[in-house]
Amino acid sequence: MDGGDGTVRLGALNLKAGRGLDLDPDVSVSSPVTRQKAAAAKQFIENHYKNYLQGLQERKERRRALQRRAEEAQISSEEQEEMMRNLERRETEYMRLQRRKIGIDDFEQLTVIGKGAFGEVRLCRAKSTGEIFAMKKLKKSEMLSRGQVEHVRSERNLLAEVDSRCIVKMFYSFQDSDFLYLIMEYLPGGDIMTLLMREDILSEDVARFYVAESILAIHSIHQHNYIHRDIKPDNLILDRNGHLKLSDFGLCKPLDGKYSTILLEDEDLTSMESTNEAEVQSRSERAPWLMPKEQLQQWKRNRRALAYSTVGTLDYMAPEVLLKKGYGMECDWWSLGAIMYEMLIGYPPFCSDDPRITCRKIINWRTCLKFPEEPKVSAEAKDLICHLLCDVETRLGTRGVEELKVSTFNDI
């Protein structure tokens, strides 16, 4: 029934133009159960249309961003049209999959293959096809309490936009009352962290291959204006043929509050270089560099547990990120330099069992970046590492990926 104020009355519900559903508080005939159900229906309808409109807006923004990048790159109109068609195809496929209402009951859960700060990763089998996937199972209460919802959305946006053989693919996402599920491509080769734990160090030829593939993978997301911010060995995954793919976009943890408390309490990080140089220098005179041998072995034993903890690791983080200065895509190239060092030396360049010391070493990289006498590393490899672990202004990759591809160590 239509009221004089433009309100449409449907039983105990009021529908007003330009507003959501209003529950009539004066309806005495409604029981508490009825009012509760009406409130739930109101919330469901509002959430449905809010999510629909938000998804529509995000698709428009992704299309505009792609058009802008294509114009800036001065791509031909034919190539631009092809890029738009590819984006629309991926968006349509994603929406089609979403409408299928895939849920946890469509998969047989198998063995756990990894654990993280917010959940676990396990193998699963699609009951309809028998296809094997990796299921990332994330506890929603933890994600909400630690402000990770936007990071999940970032990952979904990147995976919808970037179509690259260098990126781990996501096929489905859904949720229940307790968990968020991401059904990902399963890569049976394990991660680079596992490889390094098994091999300790890699030959320069093997390291060159993985560094080159890492450059291509990182560049593939930089092309779409994404910064990974969490490049580390356990986010570099190997497929069945030994090729490398990049994972964990948007789920990377920002600098944790625990670190902020530990590192910044009663200390000024920006003045570390002057106030702590003597302390750092005295540590650097120990062998192996900056860390007693027993502590180094302990760090290696604990590295997987640390990677799975809510604290995580600072070992691969760029100084400008630690100092919370403005930073760009260059921070990912620093992380690659730290990983390359570990591949050839056996441990990251600034590792410590104390995150405060790790932070100080990274910020004082000019003093702390050293190469031990053993194992031997070529001059070309040292040169590339030193041009990645350096100031942003002189860091390779700052002026484009080509200068990394043609370095004397890579020559991709």
- Structural domains in the chain? 104-185 (3.30.200.20), 190-256+290-406 (1.10.510.10)
Number of neighbours of residue 60 by Cβ within 10 angstroms: 10
For a pLDDT cut of 70, what percent of the chain falls above it? 68
Amino acid 74: pLDDT = 81
DSSP state of 113: E
Q: Closest Cα to residue 217, out of 351, 112, 332?
A: 332
The chain-wide mean pLDDT, for the chain, equals 77
Phi and psi torsions of 197, nearest 5°: -65, -35
Q: Closest Cα to residue 85, out of 175, 77, 409, 182?
A: 77
Q: Which residues make Cβ contacts (< 8 Å) with residue 227, sequence separation at least 6? A: 221, 327, 328, 329, 331, 332
Binding residues: 136
Residue of 340 and 164 predicted with greater confidence: 340
Residue of 84 and 22 predicted with greater confidence: 84
Query: Is the pLDDT assigned to residue 193 strictly greater than 80?
Result: yes
Q: How far is CA 174 from CA 41, 117, 137, 247, in A?
A: 21, 19, 10, 19
| Band of residue 57 on the pLDDT scale cut at 50, 70, 90 | confident
Highest mean pLDDT among 85-99, 136-150, 164-178: 164-178
Q: Which residues make Cβ contacts (< 8 Å) with residue 316, sequence separation at least 6? A: 231, 232, 334, 335, 338, 339, 348
Q: Closest Cα to residue 136, out of 87, 92, 185?
A: 185
Amino acid 406: pLDDT = 78
The model's pLDDT over 354-404, given as tens digits with 9 standing for 90+, comes to: 888 899 999 999 999 999 988 999 999 999 999 999 999 999 999 988 988
Binding residues for ATP: 136
Phi and psi torsions of 329, nearest 5°: -65, -20
Amino acid 378: pLDDT = 94
| Band of residue 33 on the pLDDT scale cut at 50, 70, 90 | low
| Band of residue 267 on the pLDDT scale cut at 50, 70, 90 | very low
| Host H or E run for residue 52 | helix 32-72
Read off the amino acid at residue 361: K
Query: Is the pLDDT assigned to residue 289 strictly greater than 60?
Result: no
DSSP 244-291: EEE---S-SPPSPHHHHHHHHTT--GGGHHHHSHHHHHHHHTSTTTTS
Q: Which residues of 341-367 are buried (b: 16+ CB within 10 A; e: fewer)?
A: bbbbbbbbbbbbeebebbbbbbbbbeb
Range in 19-28, 81-90, 233-242 the model is least confident about? 19-28
Q: How far apart are the first and last CA of the chain?
A: 72
Is omega for the bond preceding 375 within 30 degrees of 0, making it cis?
yes
Amino acid 334: pLDDT = 96
Show which residues are catalytic. Answer: 230
Number of neighbours of residue 303 by Cβ within 10 angstroms: 20
Amino acid 369: pLDDT = 94
CB-neighbour burial class of residue 255 (10 A; exposed 0-12, middle 13-18, buried 19+)? middle
The model's pLDDT over 315-358, given as tens digits with 9 standing for 90+, comes to: 999 999 888 777 888 999 999 999 999 999 999 999 887 888 89
Amino acid 152: pLDDT = 67
Measured distance CA(140)–CA(148) in Å, rounded? 9
Report, in this order, helix, strand and coil percent for the chain, each rounded to 5: 50, 15, 35
Upper half-sphere CA count for residue 318 (Cβ side, 13 Å): 27
Query: Is the pLDDT assigned to residue 135 strictly greater than 60?
Result: yes
For a pLDDT cut of 90, what percent of the chain falls above it? 31
The model's pLDDT over 80-123, given as tens digits with 9 standing for 90+, comes to: 888 888 888 888 877 776 666 788 999 999 999 887 767 888 99
Amino acid 52: pLDDT = 77
